[in-house]
Chains A and B, each alone.
Chain A
Amino acid sequence: MSSDKVSPGAPALDRADVRVRHDAGLGGAVRSFIDRIRSGDLGSLPVVVGLAIIWTVFQSLNPVFLSSSNLVNLLFDSSTVGVISLGIVCILMVGEIDLSVGSVSGFASAIVGVLWVNVGVPVVIAILAALAVGAAFGVVYAALFNRLGMPSFVSTLAGLLAVLGMQLYILGATGSINLPYDSALVVLGQTLVMPAFVSYALVLIAGGAIFMTGYRTAARRRAAGLTPPSLAGIVARALAFTVALELVAYYLNQDRGIPWMFGLFVGLVVAMDYALRRTKWGRSMTAVGGNREAARRSGINVRGIYMSAFVLCSTLAALGGVLSAARLASASQQAGTGDVNLNAIAAAVIGGTSLFGGRGSAYSALLGIIVIQSIASGLTLLDLSSSLRYMITGAVLAIAVIVDSLARRSRVSHGRA
């Protein structure tokens, strides 16, 4: 009774139902955006609003805050915990948690320090060893979860302590190992920035990619008889993105420029975003986070999905640890302790990844960590003690979780959970 070909004059396949309002053009886009926000589908709106408030407040308190040099430093600092936070996004997608990411990152930095500086292994091998150990922790958590039914909250809490113990053990009595200052790893963590033209070119390529994917999707949908998104909208989006980021790049290039370490972090975020949205694996992750039993009955290997989530989370935590060792030029007993754990989790949640599973985006790690680091950097510039810093960061995390819960309740009542 229906065919893939659409007869001329008939409405497109997805426009046949008269009950649905289809928003077209710019006015329609604004209207559907407002509808979405009102129903609790906030996306990245809270974090953008929050960031605007935080930046306004700190800039008015201390004019250095928004200077190019401070923002470049902020990007350096964001990259290390941001990579850990990206792993947290993964594990939150399936509705589980990993509380040991701080310890795993600290242990990974200790492994690099011990193997590279003390034992004399080539740095690449030391880094690979640290990543492998991180992955192994993920395998252990996943096995405890899949085989023994141990809640991830408890197993990773146990892991937090156990791994911290391992970190202290291998660092031994000295407790701190300095990494060579002139090594490539430390240069990457402390000074290596993109030449200006590279940063402009990368932004241009990203903008072009956004346009090309949008254009190709529109062409395919038109050919298939589905309503294509408007060309003007695609161009406007790509253009706005390119211009905005070129301006940011220009501003940062007034000082040192964009750190390569931040480029690495953004590259990982983009790759993760693709994997979560455009692959079968990502679809399975979302399904397992939304309804585990339904996923199992659809033939998804649920245990395998949990395994991949735990392993990715721990491996990214280990990578974050290696990067923070590079940033600090040392592997110490303090690495990965304190607020690293909570900052990583808070960043993912503030960025809009739900604690309840099945809803989130790789970009939430990027946006969230910039919020967290902005607060940390602003408070440091104001010369406030760490006691106040902890309290304020805690309050911001609480607000983020409250927004998440309220938005979830609103989505349920608007039938969009």
Chain B
Amino acid sequence: MNDTSQPTPPAGEPVLSLRGICKQFGAVSALTDIDLDVHAGEVVALVGDNGAGKSTLVKVLAGVHQATTGTMTFRGQPVTLTGPNDALSLGIATVFQDLSLCENLDVVANIFLGKEMQPYALDEVSMEIRAWTLLNELSARIPSVREPIASLSGGQRQTVAIARSLLLEPRLIMLDEPTAALGVAQTAEVLNLIERVRDRGLGVIMISHNMEDVRAVADRIVVLRLGRNNGIFYPHTSNQELVSAITGAADNAVSRRSGRRQAQQDSGEARA
């Protein structure tokens, strides 16, 4: 562990801790000896190159895959997840990258999909109130909850997906690439949303390729490389350090490129 510094110890109770998680698909070790801690009221960013094991780890936590070895402790209790429903009932919610919304249904129907109140005579009024309450807690800007999802913007859809994950009052929420498909303003909106979720005292795991976004909201940055922990960093860490942890080398395409740019600037200043 090449921890760079310890500016502030993470606040709150540990929600989730993983120790020595391994996941093998046949001969391939997708995850090897992964340790991870998430505390209440903390945003942990999970970064790494393609194939680093980020999505596999999220799927293990969502109960989609089962870890080969290793222990998982959730709110102080050792747990094993045998399926997605185990994770949901424990209080681990996942917002998938494609959001998994039904475009032909309205916002209320999407938030309550699969968990409708009164299955034989849907309680639309109570569901609508709960939907507005959830959306207002996130300070979401949704014009109407009776419009189909298709009429919402990307940021608004992300909001609906996050609101849906909060419906079952989870303790930990995982967001897979929440800003990948969004514009500048919408990205800022989603990042604000993540901070509000954190301020409600939830643990947040966020996967992202965008270092700007990661630095903007994360309290800690956990780097995975080739299925192993490759360091824990804090938002003030320089880009170069992060990139070298992600790629595993000080000399890589990104650092060479920034080196060239630096050299150009220096020569420009020398001429001036």
Identify the A interface with B (CB < 8 A): 1-4, 13-14, 16-17, 19-20, 217, 220-221, 224-226, 278-281, 283-284, 286-287, 289-291, 293-295, 297-300, 358-359, 411-412, 414-417
The residue on B at minimum CB distance from A411 is B150
CA distance A284 to B133 in the complex (A): 24
B116 adjacent to A13 (CB under 8 Å): no
Contact of B258 with A by CB under 8 A: no
B115 adjacent to A299 (CB under 8 Å): yes
Question: Which residues of chain B are near A2, meaning CB under 8 Å?
Answer: 132-133, 136-137
CA distance A359 to B102 in the complex (A): 12
Least CB distance from B231 to A in Å reads 32
Q: Which of A217, A226, A417 contacts B104 (CB 8 A)?
A: A417
CA distance A279 to B119 in the complex (A): 5
B116 adjacent to A4 (CB under 8 Å): no
Q: Which of A14, A225, A294, A411 contacts B144 (CB 8 A)?
A: A14
Q: Which of A17, A286, A359, A414 contacts B141 (CB 8 A)?
A: A17
B145 adjacent to A14 (CB under 8 Å): yes
Question: Which residues of chain B are near A414, meaning CB under 8 Å?
Answer: 151
The residue on B at minimum CB distance from A12 is B132
B132 adjacent to A287 (CB under 8 Å): no
Contacts A294-B101, A417-B150: A17 and B142 contacting too (C-beta < 8 A)? yes
B116 adjacent to A283 (CB under 8 Å): yes
Interface-side segment among B18-26, B120-128, B178-186, B209-217: B120-128
CA distance A284 to B109 in the complex (A): 10
B129 adjacent to A224 (CB under 8 Å): yes
B144 adjacent to A286 (CB under 8 Å): no
CA distance A291 to B126 in the complex (A): 25
Question: Which residues of chain A are near B151, meaning CB under 8 Å?
Answer: 414-416
Q: Which of A13, A290, A297 contacts B132 (CB 8 A)?
A: A13
Contacts A281-B119, A286-B102: A415 and B129 contacting too (C-beta < 8 A)? no
A297 adjacent to B96 (CB under 8 Å): yes
Question: Which residues of chain A are near B126, meaning CB under 8 Å?
Answer: 224
The residue on A at minimum CB distance from B114 is A298
Least CB distance from A67 to B in Å reads 42
Interface residues of B in 31-66 (CB under 8 A from A): none
Count of chain B residues near A, Cβ 8 A: 42
Identify the B interface with A (CB < 8 A): 84-85, 88, 96, 98-105, 109, 113-116, 119-122, 124-126, 128-129, 132-133, 136-137, 139, 141-148, 150-152
Q: Which of B100, B125, B128, B141 contacts A291 (CB 8 A)?
A: B100
- For the complex with contacts A283-B116, A286-B105, 11 further pairs of A-B residues with Cβ separation under 8 Å are A3-B133, A19-B143, A220-B125, A224-B125, A226-B128, A279-B120, A289-B104, A290-B104, A290-B105, A293-B100, A294-B101
Contacts A2-B137, A287-B105, A299-B85: A20 and B144 contacting too (C-beta < 8 A)? yes
CA distance A1 to B132 in the complex (A): 12
Q: Which of A284, A297, A359: most chain B CB closer than 10 A?
A: A297
Main secondary structure of the interface of B (DSSP, over half): loop
Contacts A217-B125, A226-B129, A279-B119: A287 and B143 contacting too (C-beta < 8 A)? no
B109 adjacent to A283 (CB under 8 Å): yes
Contacts A1-B137, A298-B113, A299-B88: A287 and B102 contacting too (C-beta < 8 A)? yes
Could you show 11 A-B contacts with beta carbons less than 8 Å apart?
A1-B136, A14-B145, A225-B129, A279-B121, A280-B116, A286-B104, A289-B104, A295-B114, A300-B113, A412-B150, A415-B150
CA distance A224 to B109 in the complex (A): 18
Least CB distance from B6 to A in Å reads 33
Least CB distance from A223 to B in Å reads 9
Least CB distance from B96 to A in Å reads 7
The residue on B at minimum CB distance from A13 is B132
3 closest cross-chain pairs (CB), A and B = A298-B114, A280-B119, A290-B104
The residue on A at minimum CB distance from B112 is A283
The residue on B at minimum CB distance from A279 is B120
CA distance A417 to B105 in the complex (A): 9
The residue on B at minimum CB distance from A415 is B151
CA distance A293 to B139 in the complex (A): 28
Least CB distance from B186 to A in Å reads 15
B113 adjacent to A287 (CB under 8 Å): yes
Question: Which residues of chain A are near B109, meaning CB under 8 Å?
Answer: 283, 286-287
Q: Which of A221, A226, A286, A294 contacts B100 (CB 8 A)?
A: A294
Question: Which residues of chain B are near A300, meaning CB under 8 Å?
Answer: 113-114
Contacts A1-B137, A2-B137, A289-B104: A416 and B143 contacting too (C-beta < 8 A)? no
CA distance A416 to B144 in the complex (A): 13
Contacts A279-B119, A286-B104, A287-B105: A14 and B150 contacting too (C-beta < 8 A)? no
Question: Which residues of chain A are near B133, meaning CB under 8 Å?
Answer: 2-4
B102 adjacent to A290 (CB under 8 Å): yes
Question: Which residues of chain A are near B125, meaning CB under 8 Å?
Answer: 217, 220-221, 224, 226
CA distance A224 to B125 in the complex (A): 8
Q: Which of B99, B116, B125, B143: most chain A CB closer than 10 A?
A: B125
Contacts A2-B136, A220-B125, A278-B122: A358 and B102 contacting too (C-beta < 8 A)? yes
A417 adjacent to B103 (CB under 8 Å): yes
A13 adjacent to B114 (CB under 8 Å): no
Question: Which residues of chain A are near B142, meaning CB under 8 Å?
Answer: 17
Contacts A226-B128, A286-B102, A299-B115: A280 and B145 contacting too (C-beta < 8 A)? no
Least CB distance from B170 to A in Å reads 14
The residue on B at minimum CB distance from A293 is B100
CA distance A412 to B147 in the complex (A): 14
